[in-house]
Structure 1
Amino acid sequence: MPQDTAKTAQLYRMVMPDHLCPYGLKSKDLLDREGYEVEDHHLTTREETDVFMKRHGVETTPQTWINNERIGGYDDLRVHFGIDKPESERSDASYKPVIAIFSVAFLMSLGLSWFAFESVVTLRAFEWFIAISMCFLAVQKLQDIESFSTMFLNYDLLARRWVRYGYIYPFGEALAGILMVAGALTWLSAPVALFIGTIGAASVAKAVYIDKRDLKCACVGGSSNVPLGFVSLTENLMMIAMGLWMPVKVYLLDW
């Protein structure tokens, strides 16, 4: 007779009237997607949970067993299935926030171009991409401006001479980005973008390529794990490009 090859796992998670553990739900979903039949054990009271953790010598729930081997919590499950690397092999650096911002900004610019011109391949789409990216990056900084300004002081040349510049910078970036999205007040948006972009590019170039410093980039906020370098330099070069292009565009249109 063929042997039963079904994969089974035992999951213990908190399911209480006032608390449904989100990591327990994620663990159940991951096990289901990996093809396991899950014996789903609910810990329905705080007392029951405490007894369970004491019995097994663990400090958190959920906990998963596969083939009588305790795998651990949700993060441990992701490592077990090869989705994530073990913590000892992980790098703090991550470009995910930047990829998300630029990807959504790019798609938004294409959508606006399609709406306005019935074509995604337009010069305005490129302008919108840079302007929307500036707005998104400014929002990231404004979420915690104190943390941003502190990280910014690690490398920005002007902020080191005038600390308040670190608090002004995100507002300037947001203002320039919003005006460039609208195509309005170029006499204001272009100089702001050109100024902060030039100072920023010089600061990044000095810190990374001259002084060879290993720093985190404040471009997506003060809690960022994005390495300072190409990404931040690109942000500033984009602002410089827009700061130079927008007045030229206005001049050409008037001419």
Structure 2
Amino acid sequence: MKQPNTAKLYRMVMEDHVCPYGIKSKWLLESRGYQVDDHHLTTREETAAFKDKHGVKTTPQTWIGDERIGGYTDLAAHFGNPVQNEGTSYQPVAALFGMMALMALGAAWVATSEPLSILSAEWFVSFSMCALAYLKLRDVESFSTMFLNYDLLAKRWVPYGYIYPFAEGLAGVLMTAQVLNFVSIPVALFIGTIGAVSVFKAVYIDKRELKCACVGGDSNVPLGFVSLTENLFMIGMAVWMLAKPLAI
């Protein structure tokens, strides 16, 4: 019978702190069929001595045979699954729009017994506006700072960067409830149009490479079609709500 491969893992396991990356490293090794020789570093002093001895800055640390692999991100890369910590990514918005689409389908199904309907499309847009507003409202200061990089109105009148998330959230809530259209429609048209023009100018005319503030001030989403889509959604929803009474 083939003996399992073995690995040595040194990780912090203390009364007041168990390193989450150490737990992840142990799980990753075991999921790859390794028998883990698990060494616990139980005090801050012991951890500092370990780092000094091996010339490393962080724990956990993994050895496979005589080769030091490194920390969790190094271990994941060793197994062909690099952890994406830096650079731009569309993953946050893909997850957000995916969840909002599922929520809209589910809510419309409860309301109308039809998951695919005009209502589910309307709610997808309004739910997305609410979710995007929430992400901005987590840290309005950071959002407004990033927003100043490209928004034409915010550059001329700084308070607009602070108002924008509240305006987007207000329009989203009112459009979800389908009340006070005389408020939600002009708000969505106003911020959506300025936003679309600002993004188009920054990305497609000025050719600037910026991060998008659409999902908050800590975003790694590149400015481009995602933010443009957000603004076009708002414009489209406002136009639809204006035309809807004529279409029914």
**CA–CA separation in structure 1 for the residues paired with 2:88 and 2:14:** 37
In structure 2, the gaps of 5 or more residues are: none
Q: How does 1:2-41 map to 2 (within 5 A)?
A: 4-41=2-39
The structural deviation recorded for 1:37 is 1.0
1:156 is matched with which residue?
151
The structural deviation recorded for 1:5 is 4.4
2:243 is matched with which residue?
248
Q: Check whether the contact 1:207–1:213 (CA below 8 A) recurs between aligned residues.
A: yes
* Equivalent residue letter for 2:31: R
**CA–CA separation in structure 1 for the residues paired with 2:58 and 2:203:** 41
Aligned residues between the structures: 248
Of the three residues 210, 213, 216, the one matched with 2:205 is 210
2:188 is matched with which residue?
193
**CA–CA separation in structure 2 for the residues paired with 1:201 and 1:94:** 21
Question: Please, what is the CA RMSD of the aligned residues?
Answer: 1.5
Q: Check whether the contact 1:138–1:170 (CA below 8 A) recurs between aligned residues.
A: yes
The reply on whether 1:95 has 2:90 as its aligned counterpart is yes
**CA–CA separation in structure 2 for the residues paired with 1:158 and 1:141:** 17
- Post-superposition, which runs of at least 4 consecutive aligned residues in structure 1 deviate over 6 A? none
Of the three residues 85, 103, 117, the one matched with 1:122 is 117
**CA–CA separation in structure 1 for the residues paired with 2:33 and 2:134:** 41
* Equivalent residue letter for 2:36: V
Of the three residues 116, 129, 143, the one matched with 1:134 is 129
**CA–CA separation in structure 2 for the residues paired with 1:154 and 1:58:** 38
In structure 1, the gaps of 5 or more residues are: none
**CA–CA separation in structure 1 for the residues paired with 2:202 and 2:18:** 47
**CA–CA separation in structure 1 for the residues paired with 2:17 and 2:46:** 14
TM-score (ref. length: structure 1):
0.93
**CA–CA separation in structure 2 for the residues paired with 1:17 and 1:187:** 58
2:48 is matched with which residue?
50
Q: How does 1:222-233 map to 2 (within 5 A)?
A: 222-233=217-228
TM-score (ref. length: structure 2):
0.96
Of the three residues 62, 65, 68, the one matched with 2:63 is 65
Identity of aligned residues (%): 64
Q: Check whether the contact 1:137–1:220 (CA below 8 A) recurs between aligned residues.
A: yes
**CA–CA separation in structure 1 for the residues paired with 2:103 and 2:194:** 28
1:106 is matched with which residue?
101
The structural deviation recorded for 1:68 is 1.5
* Equivalent residue letter for 1:192: V
Q: Check whether the contact 1:187–1:247 (CA below 8 A) recurs between aligned residues.
A: no
Query: More displaced, 241-250 or 62-71?
Result: 241-250
**CA–CA separation in structure 2 for the residues paired with 1:227 and 1:150:** 16
